[in-house]
Structure 1
Amino acid sequence: MDKQEVYEQFKSLEDQLQQMSAQFGDLQTEMTQVFERNAELEIENQRLRDLVRELQKTLPEDPGTPQGLSKSRQILEKLYEEGFHVCREFYGTRRKQDEECAFCLEVIYRDQ
């Protein structure tokens, strides 16, 4: 191997290393964002659990209500009225501008 070939291989390896370093930096940034979002969702999830526990304490023990909803559906209805989705597709996320969600309404009021 002559000096030129060694130099070219070294330069190629250096370029590859720089590309990998840039990719690593991008991946690290993305992972940080994922971890931050996960932490936010865990906090929001805990808030929702606390809200459900609080609502369970305030609802009457009577399984039937004037609306005919069970206690668990009353809790879901209250969460929905607070602005959260209770459907499987979007559970726990906020409803934008208190928009109606057919999936949530189905969960709360089906089989009435």
Structure 2
Amino acid sequence: MSKTDLYEQLLTIEQQAKLTFDGITEMKAVLSKVLEENAELEIENKHLREHLQELQQTTEETDTKDLSQGLSKSKQNLQNLYEEGFHICPYFYGSRRENDEPCAFCNDVIYGERTAD
């Protein structure tokens, strides 16, 4: 092997090493970016889980509150009449419901929320 061939092989190896080093540097930069994004997503995920847990607790408290309040005695009486097949709404009050069909007006009287106007 001549000195020029040896020198050319060394140049080729040097170029390949340089390309390999550049590739490693690029992979390192990409890996750093991915790790940074991963850390950000973990933090965001943690915050979202905490927020979801707060919302679930609020919903559970609201549901518990609604169940504990229930219907007033007068609304329970109206519900009993409705279940017996009578209209309790102002539009058809006292008339029998045909085939026990549901009435949106009656349901609004029983279950609808009233606001102070």
Question: How many angstroms does 1:25 deviate by?
Answer: 0.8
Identity over aligned pairs, percent: 8
Question: How many angstroms does 1:51 deviate by?
Answer: 0.8
Match of 2:109 in 1: 70
Give the AA of the match of 1:21.
Answer: L
Match of 1:30 in 2: 44
More helix by share: 2
Higher normalized contact order (CA 8 Å, seq sep 6+, divided by chain length) = 1
Alignment: residue pair count: 74
1:7-26 mapped onto 2 (5 Å cutoff): 7-26=21-40
Among 56, 60, 67, which residue is 1:42 paired with? Answer: 56
1:54-65 mapped onto 2 (5 Å cutoff): 54-56=68-70, 59-60=72-73, 61-63=76-78
Ranges of 4+ aligned residues in structure 1 off by more than 3 Å: none
TM-score by length of 1: 0.56
Alpha-carbon displacement from aligned partner over 1:39-94 (angstroms, at most 9, x marks no partner)? 0111001111111111105x111326xxx9633224xx4xx89xxxxxxxxxxxxx
Gap runs ≥5 in structure 1:
82-112
